[in-house]
Structure 1
């Protein structure tokens, strides 16, 4: 998304243990919104606190997304094709929420955050359709919560979508852009 708007940046993996953070926050009865926010914050802070990389005034953006089912439970990224097919079967014919969070950190502390929510209703899908979809798209969807990329064949899965396409893709991009304009990083 940042490439598509022509933003110059350096991408770095934060290498946080997302699953451990999610489990800890779920045990503390945190909301899905707070979990997405804490994951984004953990990523931004981990990079922002690297002395050898971040100088004064360096903004670090962390973002993450949580998929929450109607019953309040969550789906994570699939481990394999079989789990991806199970996830899509669970979502088939139902509505879920994608909660995308972005946090900016500067000099090792969070200075800005935004959370946006999209509501997604998947059409009822046959087991044969799901199996073919996963087989045909595994390389693109294996790192995606929900096992779809809405900007490609994943659009076939949905009957109704409410919310920003950027939020669905994993980041509340318009709010990020607004903040970058406010800080004069984009002029």
Structure 2
């Protein structure tokens, strides 16, 4: 049995559409506290996604003995700054203005845990080149997307109107969506969770 340790609608949709049977149990950990601890320990910003994914998987794995638990996290790095999901549309506007005309990295971590220990760890990276969009475009984009983008660390859904923000995207599409699906499916096949 696979359990997704996430409340992410897009991750659940990707697994469902790939034909993976799973349950959902969001973790109960305080992500801000985990990030503070990682900072205090001197963990590189590039390693936060994998560490957070593992923390989420372990948090849920301890509560469901025997189950295979998938924890995921995605971080955005630009100019040595680590971004969090925006609290509101005003912060989303600020973040998008900061990213405008720049290149940023999306780092996606996924960890499978079982019986309170990690059994698979995978981190991928995508590089996204944001175009120098106009203020008028930004206002129209925010109006059309609304609160939907608040669930995305980058304030965009690449599978939707967010694709208009970019000049180029280098890397795996699923990494941008927050789940390294192809690598995960391979790991699930090895564990007979999905058919070989």
TM-score (norm 2): 0.89
- Structure 1 residue matching 2:151: 3-state secondary structure: coil
Deviation at 1:23, TM superposition (A): 2.6
* Contact map agreement 2:50 2:109 (CA 8 A) in 1: yes
Aligned pairs for 1:1-187 (under 5 A) are 1-50=14-63, 54-56=64-66, 58-69=67-78, 71-187=79-195
* Contact map agreement 1:62 1:103 (CA 8 A) in 2: yes
Within 1, Cα distance between the matches of 2:139 and 2:43? 34
* Contact map agreement 2:104 2:129 (CA 8 A) in 1: yes
Deviation at 1:99, TM superposition (A): 0.2
* Contact map agreement 1:94 1:121 (CA 8 A) in 2: yes
- Structure 1 residue matching 2:96: 3-state secondary structure: helix
Within 1, Cα distance between the matches of 2:40 and 2:163? 34
TM-score (norm 1): 0.93
Deviation at 1:64, TM superposition (A): 0.3
Deviation at 1:9, TM superposition (A): 0.3
Structure 1's unaligned 5+ residue stretches are none
Q: Report how many residues are paired.
A: 182
- Structure 2 residue matching 1:178: 3-state secondary structure: helix
* Contact map agreement 1:32 1:99 (CA 8 A) in 2: no
* Contact map agreement 1:33 1:115 (CA 8 A) in 2: no
RMSD: 1.1
Runs of 4+ in 1 over 3 A off after TM superposition: none
* Contact map agreement 1:36 1:66 (CA 8 A) in 2: yes
